[in-house]
Structure 1
Amino acid sequence: MSAASLDAEIIRTEFDSAIERVVERLTALESSVSQLTRPGTRDDGHTAEPSSEVVTQNEFRLFKWLGSFSLAAMLAGFGFLYQQIADLRVDVERQFADLRVDVERQFADLRVDIERQHRDLLQEMNARYVDIRGEIGLLRERVTGVETRAPT
Protein backbone atom coordinates (compact mmCIF):
# COMPACT_ATOMS: atom_id res chain seq x y z
CA MET A 1 0.00 0.00 0.00
CA SER A 2 1.50 3.31 -1.00
CA ALA A 3 1.89 6.23 1.37
CA ALA A 4 -0.71 8.26 -0.53
CA SER A 5 -3.37 5.55 -0.22
CA LEU A 6 -2.48 5.12 3.47
CA ASP A 7 -2.95 8.86 4.02
CA ALA A 8 -6.22 8.73 2.11
CA GLU A 9 -7.37 5.81 4.27
CA ILE A 10 -6.50 7.70 7.47
CA ILE A 11 -8.35 10.78 6.25
CA ARG A 12 -11.33 8.64 5.22
CA THR A 13 -11.41 6.98 8.66
CA GLU A 14 -11.29 10.34 10.43
CA PHE A 15 -14.02 11.65 8.12
CA ASP A 16 -16.23 8.63 8.81
CA SER A 17 -15.84 8.98 12.58
CA ALA A 18 -16.68 12.71 12.40
CA ILE A 19 -19.78 11.95 10.32
CA GLU A 20 -20.86 9.28 12.81
CA ARG A 21 -20.63 11.80 15.66
CA VAL A 22 -22.68 14.33 13.69
CA VAL A 23 -25.30 11.68 12.85
CA GLU A 24 -25.53 10.66 16.53
CA ARG A 25 -25.97 14.31 17.56
CA LEU A 26 -28.63 14.89 14.88
CA THR A 27 -30.48 11.76 15.96
CA ALA A 28 -30.43 12.95 19.57
CA LEU A 29 -31.64 16.38 18.51
CA GLU A 30 -34.43 14.94 16.37
CA SER A 31 -35.61 12.67 19.17
CA SER A 32 -35.62 15.55 21.66
CA VAL A 33 -37.55 17.72 19.17
CA SER A 34 -40.08 14.95 18.59
CA GLN A 35 -40.63 14.67 22.35
CA LEU A 36 -41.65 18.31 22.52
CA THR A 37 -44.27 19.38 20.04
CA ARG A 38 -44.52 22.76 21.75
CA PRO A 39 -42.30 24.11 24.46
CA GLY A 40 -43.71 23.00 27.81
CA THR A 41 -45.98 20.16 26.53
CA ARG A 42 -45.39 16.53 25.61
CA ASP A 43 -47.29 14.21 23.29
CA ASP A 44 -49.21 12.67 26.19
CA GLY A 45 -50.53 16.07 27.30
CA HIS A 46 -48.40 16.45 30.41
CA THR A 47 -46.40 19.60 30.78
CA ALA A 48 -42.65 19.26 30.83
CA GLU A 49 -40.00 21.68 31.79
CA PRO A 50 -37.31 21.93 29.14
CA SER A 51 -34.01 20.79 30.55
CA SER A 52 -30.51 21.43 29.30
CA GLU A 53 -30.67 18.18 27.28
CA VAL A 54 -33.77 19.28 25.38
CA VAL A 55 -33.30 21.32 22.24
CA THR A 56 -36.11 23.56 21.07
CA GLN A 57 -37.28 23.50 17.50
CA ASN A 58 -35.78 26.92 16.82
CA GLU A 59 -32.41 25.78 18.17
CA PHE A 60 -32.61 22.69 16.01
CA ARG A 61 -33.44 24.78 12.93
CA LEU A 62 -30.53 27.06 13.74
CA PHE A 63 -28.25 24.04 14.08
CA LYS A 64 -29.42 22.64 10.74
CA TRP A 65 -28.97 26.07 9.11
CA LEU A 66 -25.44 26.39 10.51
CA GLY A 67 -24.61 22.86 9.39
CA SER A 68 -25.93 23.57 5.90
CA PHE A 69 -24.04 26.86 5.77
CA SER A 70 -20.83 25.15 6.91
CA LEU A 71 -21.22 22.41 4.33
CA ALA A 72 -21.92 24.96 1.58
CA ALA A 73 -18.86 26.99 2.64
CA MET A 74 -16.64 23.89 2.58
CA LEU A 75 -17.95 22.82 -0.82
CA ALA A 76 -17.43 26.33 -2.18
CA GLY A 77 -13.89 26.30 -0.78
CA PHE A 78 -13.17 22.96 -2.43
CA GLY A 79 -14.66 24.24 -5.69
CA PHE A 80 -12.48 27.33 -5.52
CA LEU A 81 -9.42 25.21 -4.74
CA TYR A 82 -10.21 22.86 -7.64
CA GLN A 83 -10.60 25.83 -10.01
CA GLN A 84 -7.27 27.29 -8.89
CA ILE A 85 -5.53 23.94 -9.38
CA ALA A 86 -7.08 23.57 -12.83
CA ASP A 87 -5.94 27.08 -13.80
CA LEU A 88 -2.45 26.34 -12.49
CA ARG A 89 -2.32 23.09 -14.47
CA VAL A 90 -3.31 24.92 -17.66
CA ASP A 91 -0.63 27.57 -17.03
CA VAL A 92 2.03 24.92 -16.41
CA GLU A 93 1.07 23.05 -19.59
CA ARG A 94 1.23 26.29 -21.60
CA GLN A 95 4.62 27.20 -20.14
CA PHE A 96 5.88 23.67 -20.84
CA ALA A 97 4.75 23.94 -24.47
CA ASP A 98 6.44 27.35 -24.81
CA LEU A 99 9.63 25.99 -23.25
CA ARG A 100 9.60 22.97 -25.55
CA VAL A 101 9.22 25.18 -28.63
CA ASP A 102 12.05 27.41 -27.41
CA VAL A 103 14.37 24.45 -26.75
CA GLU A 104 13.58 22.90 -30.14
CA ARG A 105 14.31 26.24 -31.84
CA GLN A 106 17.62 26.56 -29.99
CA PHE A 107 18.58 22.99 -30.96
CA ALA A 108 17.74 23.74 -34.60
CA ASP A 109 19.89 26.89 -34.48
CA LEU A 110 22.71 24.92 -32.86
CA ARG A 111 22.44 22.17 -35.50
CA VAL A 112 22.66 24.76 -38.31
CA ASP A 113 25.68 26.38 -36.64
CA ILE A 114 27.47 23.03 -36.20
CA GLU A 115 26.76 22.06 -39.82
CA ARG A 116 28.17 25.41 -41.01
CA GLN A 117 31.30 24.99 -38.88
CA HIS A 118 31.72 21.42 -40.15
CA ARG A 119 31.38 22.55 -43.77
CA ASP A 120 33.90 25.38 -43.20
CA LEU A 121 36.33 22.96 -41.55
CA LEU A 122 36.03 20.51 -44.46
CA GLN A 123 36.70 23.31 -46.95
CA GLU A 124 39.74 24.47 -44.97
CA MET A 125 41.06 20.91 -44.69
CA ASN A 126 40.53 20.37 -48.41
CA ALA A 127 42.38 23.61 -49.21
CA ARG A 128 45.29 22.60 -46.94
CA TYR A 129 45.32 19.13 -48.51
CA VAL A 130 45.56 20.68 -51.96
CA ASP A 131 48.37 22.97 -50.75
CA ILE A 132 50.26 20.06 -49.20
CA ARG A 133 49.86 17.98 -52.38
CA GLY A 134 51.16 20.95 -54.36
CA GLU A 135 54.18 21.32 -52.06
CA ILE A 136 54.87 17.58 -52.27
CA GLY A 137 54.72 17.85 -56.06
CA LEU A 138 57.22 20.74 -55.97
CA LEU A 139 59.53 18.77 -53.67
CA ARG A 140 59.41 15.78 -56.02
CA GLU A 141 60.34 18.02 -58.94
CA ARG A 142 63.26 19.47 -56.98
CA VAL A 143 64.42 16.02 -55.89
CA THR A 144 64.16 14.80 -59.47
CA GLY A 145 66.07 17.87 -60.65
CA VAL A 146 68.81 17.35 -58.05
CA GLU A 147 69.11 13.66 -58.91
CA THR A 148 69.42 14.38 -62.64
CA ARG A 149 72.11 17.01 -62.09
CA ALA A 150 74.12 14.96 -59.67
CA PRO A 151 77.33 13.44 -61.10
CA THR A 152 77.28 9.76 -61.38
Structure 2
Amino acid sequence: MKEYKYTINGKKYEVTIGDIEENIANVKVNGEDYKVEMEKQQEPEKKKVVVRPVAKPVAAAPAASQNSASKINTANAIKAPLPGVVTEIKVAVGDTVKSGDTVVVLEAMKMANNLDAEKDGKVTAILVQPGESVMEDTPLVIVE
Protein backbone atom coordinates (compact mmCIF):
# COMPACT_ATOMS: atom_id res chain seq x y z
CA MET A 1 0.00 0.00 0.00
CA LYS A 2 1.36 3.42 -0.95
CA GLU A 3 0.33 6.67 0.69
CA TYR A 4 0.63 10.13 -0.82
CA LYS A 5 -0.24 13.65 0.33
CA TYR A 6 -1.16 16.31 -2.23
CA THR A 7 -2.28 19.91 -2.13
CA ILE A 8 -4.28 21.01 -5.16
CA ASN A 9 -5.58 24.61 -5.34
CA GLY A 10 -5.07 24.94 -1.59
CA LYS A 11 -7.06 21.77 -0.76
CA LYS A 12 -5.21 18.86 0.90
CA TYR A 13 -5.68 15.27 -0.26
CA GLU A 14 -4.47 12.07 1.39
CA VAL A 15 -4.36 9.31 -1.22
CA THR A 16 -3.77 5.64 -0.49
CA ILE A 17 -3.33 3.20 -3.36
CA GLY A 18 -4.26 -0.32 -2.32
CA ASP A 19 -4.44 -3.58 -4.25
CA ILE A 20 -4.44 -3.58 -8.04
CA GLU A 21 -6.28 -6.48 -9.67
CA GLU A 22 -5.81 -6.70 -13.44
CA ASN A 23 -6.61 -3.11 -14.44
CA ILE A 24 -8.69 -2.01 -11.38
CA ALA A 25 -6.94 -0.14 -8.54
CA ASN A 26 -8.47 0.31 -5.05
CA VAL A 27 -7.82 3.93 -4.12
CA LYS A 28 -8.78 5.82 -0.95
CA VAL A 29 -8.93 9.65 -1.16
CA ASN A 30 -9.45 11.50 2.16
CA GLY A 31 -10.97 8.33 3.66
CA GLU A 32 -13.39 7.69 0.76
CA ASP A 33 -12.93 4.48 -1.30
CA TYR A 34 -12.82 4.50 -5.10
CA LYS A 35 -12.26 1.84 -7.73
CA VAL A 36 -10.11 3.28 -10.51
CA GLU A 37 -10.02 1.56 -13.89
CA MET A 38 -6.68 1.92 -15.63
CA GLU A 39 -6.15 1.55 -19.37
CA LYS A 40 -4.59 -1.76 -20.32
CA GLN A 41 -1.16 -1.52 -21.86
CA GLN A 42 -0.99 -2.65 -25.46
CA GLU A 43 1.18 -5.66 -26.04
CA PRO A 44 3.86 -5.17 -28.66
CA GLU A 45 3.04 -6.66 -32.04
CA LYS A 46 4.88 -9.92 -32.58
CA LYS A 47 6.57 -10.31 -35.93
CA LYS A 48 6.01 -13.53 -37.81
CA VAL A 49 8.88 -15.45 -39.34
CA VAL A 50 8.20 -16.63 -42.88
CA VAL A 51 10.25 -19.53 -44.21
CA ARG A 52 10.33 -19.86 -47.98
CA PRO A 53 11.72 -22.80 -49.95
CA VAL A 54 14.93 -22.35 -51.94
CA ALA A 55 14.13 -21.57 -55.58
CA LYS A 56 15.03 -23.96 -58.37
CA PRO A 57 16.42 -22.59 -61.67
CA VAL A 58 13.86 -22.23 -64.46
CA ALA A 59 15.42 -22.99 -67.83
CA ALA A 60 14.05 -21.75 -71.20
CA ALA A 61 13.96 -25.18 -72.82
CA PRO A 62 12.21 -28.06 -71.10
CA ALA A 63 14.89 -30.16 -69.44
CA ALA A 64 14.46 -33.82 -68.68
CA SER A 65 17.86 -34.40 -67.11
CA GLN A 66 19.26 -33.24 -63.80
CA ASN A 67 22.33 -31.82 -65.55
CA SER A 68 20.36 -28.99 -67.20
CA ALA A 69 20.67 -26.70 -64.17
CA SER A 70 24.43 -27.17 -64.17
CA LYS A 71 24.59 -26.29 -67.92
CA ILE A 72 23.25 -22.76 -67.35
CA ASN A 73 25.93 -20.22 -68.30
CA THR A 74 26.02 -17.83 -65.33
CA ALA A 75 28.68 -15.68 -67.07
CA ASN A 76 25.80 -13.81 -68.74
CA ALA A 77 23.81 -13.48 -65.51
CA ILE A 78 22.51 -10.33 -63.93
CA LYS A 79 23.90 -10.67 -60.40
CA ALA A 80 22.88 -9.19 -57.07
CA PRO A 81 25.08 -6.16 -56.36
CA LEU A 82 24.51 -6.56 -52.59
CA PRO A 83 22.68 -8.91 -50.20
CA GLY A 84 18.91 -8.50 -50.19
CA VAL A 85 15.49 -10.00 -50.87
CA VAL A 86 14.03 -10.40 -54.36
CA THR A 87 10.71 -8.53 -54.27
CA GLU A 88 9.72 -8.67 -57.94
CA ILE A 89 10.81 -10.31 -61.18
CA LYS A 90 9.74 -8.14 -64.11
CA VAL A 91 10.58 -10.58 -66.93
CA ALA A 92 9.78 -14.16 -67.93
CA VAL A 93 11.86 -16.81 -69.67
CA GLY A 94 11.81 -16.06 -73.41
CA ASP A 95 11.30 -12.29 -73.05
CA THR A 96 13.49 -9.98 -75.12
CA VAL A 97 15.09 -7.17 -73.10
CA LYS A 98 17.02 -4.07 -74.07
CA SER A 99 19.93 -2.56 -72.18
CA GLY A 100 18.55 -0.54 -69.26
CA ASP A 101 15.26 -2.47 -68.92
CA THR A 102 14.45 -3.32 -65.30
CA VAL A 103 14.63 -7.09 -64.84
CA VAL A 104 14.53 -7.64 -61.06
CA VAL A 105 13.64 -5.51 -58.02
CA LEU A 106 15.86 -6.27 -55.02
CA GLU A 107 15.15 -4.90 -51.54
CA ALA A 108 18.29 -4.16 -49.61
CA MET A 109 18.71 -1.99 -46.52
CA LYS A 110 14.97 -1.11 -46.64
CA MET A 111 15.28 0.29 -50.18
CA ALA A 112 14.01 -1.10 -53.47
CA ASN A 113 16.79 -1.40 -56.04
CA ASN A 114 15.94 -1.85 -59.74
CA LEU A 115 18.42 -4.19 -61.40
CA ASP A 116 18.63 -3.46 -65.13
CA ALA A 117 19.76 -5.50 -68.12
CA GLU A 118 23.32 -4.60 -69.06
CA LYS A 119 22.88 -5.58 -72.71
CA ASP A 120 20.19 -6.41 -75.26
CA GLY A 121 19.22 -10.07 -75.32
CA LYS A 122 16.77 -12.81 -74.50
CA VAL A 123 15.98 -14.07 -70.99
CA THR A 124 17.03 -17.75 -71.01
CA ALA A 125 16.70 -18.56 -67.30
CA ILE A 126 15.36 -17.13 -64.04
CA LEU A 127 17.32 -18.46 -61.07
CA VAL A 128 15.37 -16.88 -58.17
CA GLN A 129 11.82 -16.38 -56.94
CA PRO A 130 10.13 -13.39 -55.26
CA GLY A 131 10.74 -13.47 -51.50
CA GLU A 132 14.06 -15.28 -51.80
CA SER A 133 17.06 -13.92 -49.91
CA VAL A 134 20.22 -13.60 -51.97
CA MET A 135 23.83 -12.75 -51.25
CA GLU A 136 26.13 -10.42 -53.19
CA ASP A 137 27.08 -11.80 -56.64
CA THR A 138 24.24 -14.37 -56.65
CA PRO A 139 23.12 -14.96 -60.28
CA LEU A 140 19.49 -13.85 -60.64
CA VAL A 141 18.52 -13.83 -64.34
CA ILE A 142 20.41 -15.05 -67.42
CA VAL A 143 20.26 -12.76 -70.48
CA GLU A 144 21.95 -14.04 -73.67
- Say which structure is richer in strand: 2
Q: Determine if the TM-score, normalized by the shorter chain, exceeds 0.5.
A: no
Answer 1 or 2: higher relative contact order, Cα 8 Å, separation at least 6: 2
TM-score bin (small chain): under 0.3
Q: TM-score, normalised to structure 2's length? A: 0.19
- TM value normalised by structure 1: 0.18
Give the helix-richer structure, 1 or 2. Answer: 1
Pick the structure with greater CA Rg. Answer: 1
